[in-house]
Amino acid sequence: MRKIRAVLVPAVLAIGMALSLGATPAHAETLNGIYKEQSECQRVGTYGDEQGWWNGWRCEWKTQYHYYFLYA
Residue-wise pLDDT tens digits, 22-56: 555 556 789 999 999 999 999 999 999 999 999 99
**Can you tell me the distance from the alpha carbon of 53 to that of 32, in angstroms, rounded to the nearest whole number?**
10
Question: What mean pLDDT value characterizes the chain?
Answer: 80
Distance CA 51, CA 61 (A): 24
pTM of the model: 0.62
Residues 59-71 have a mean pLDDT of 97
Rounded Cα gap, residues 11 and 4, in angstroms: 11
Extents of the domains making up the chain = 2-71
